[in-house]
Amino acid sequence: MPEELTFSTDPQWRVKVGLAEMLKGGVIMDVTNAEQATIAEKAGACAVMALERVPADIRKEGGVARMASPKIIREIMDAVTIPVMAKVRIGHFAEAQVLEALEVDFIDESEVLTPADEENHVWKHPFKVPFVCGARNLGEALRRITEGAAMIRTKGEAGSGNIVEAVRHMRAIVGEMRRLTQLGEEELISAAKELGAPYDLVRWVARNGKLPVPNFSAGGIATPADAALVVQLGAEAVFVGSGIFKSSDPDRRARAIVKATTHAKDPKAVLEASEELGEAMKGLDIRQLDEKELLQTRGW
């Protein structure tokens, strides 16, 4: 029997991780209004992310990206019966308090928005609403869990339509976990130092070979095959941001990505999902972007 983490038996923590468990195997879609939310729900989304602008538009238009207006979020909450998530800026605990007062089901402390604190993330344990946070590697994931994140997602590179960064981050997280399982007891303290993560969490991962919360993928998923790729690499569910409503036929693409996520290991099903989809979003070559244009480097 693995040793329990100090917070893992707390009822509030268990219902937070419990909701994340319910979203496994599903697709969480970015939506900017009630109409898109309804399309997403009908297409089989297991949750929606309420936003004012999808990441591709945030990238294009620039300026400070903040929490969406409560009006938009409320309209989306009224339009669908599935869970509704919304984003806050990194470290902006007051935006998170507003979203909790609004009773959203999940808060994404997201690098897609302009950070509010360049040193600290939100201390998430006191909140009753669960949080999801992005990570590029295991150390980042474990720091976010320590702060109270009930779900981890890869950061990828949001709004790029390019899967390369999500793959890099998922491989890093899964690979670092695999490495931990092979270390001796005496090597774990040094591994914790290298990862910049608490020892008890590092030891838990070393013994269990997985994160103590669901591990999802986000940032650049644009096609059914992209979803099938990250699921086979270890993602337990996928977030699709700009990939759906920036494509030529959002409804059909949404349905196709849902199907490919459920049947990720069945190439015939992914083939069926990939046919007659119209144009995917155009996408960006990450190597052509300036360092300062990257969203994934936000967060610490």
Q: Which is nearer to other proteins, 58 or 270 (CB)?
A: 270
Task: Please say if 42 is a catalytic residue.
Answer: no
Helix (H) or strand (E) holding 215: strand 215-216
Closest distance to other proteins from the beta carbon of 45 (Å): 7
Closest distance to other proteins from the beta carbon of 242 (Å): 22
Can you read off the two tokens belonging to residue 213? 């919360």
Q: Which is nearer to other proteins, 82 or 164 (CB)?
A: 82
Give the contacts of 183 (CB within 8 A, at least 6 positions apart).
191, 206
Catalog residues that contact other proteins under the rule CB under 8 A. 11, 14-15, 18-19, 21-26, 41-42, 44-47, 81-83, 100, 103-106, 128-130, 258-259, 261-263, 266
Q: Which is nearer to other proteins, 116 or 152 (CB)?
A: 152
Looking at residue 289, its amino acid is L
Task: Spot the catalytic one: 16, 24, 42, 87.
Answer: 87
Q: Which is nearer to other proteins, 179 or 265 (CB)?
A: 265
Q: Please give the backbone phi and psi of residue 143, each rounded to the nearest 5 degrees, phi first.
A: -65, -40
Which residues participate in catalysis according to the annotation?
Answer: 87
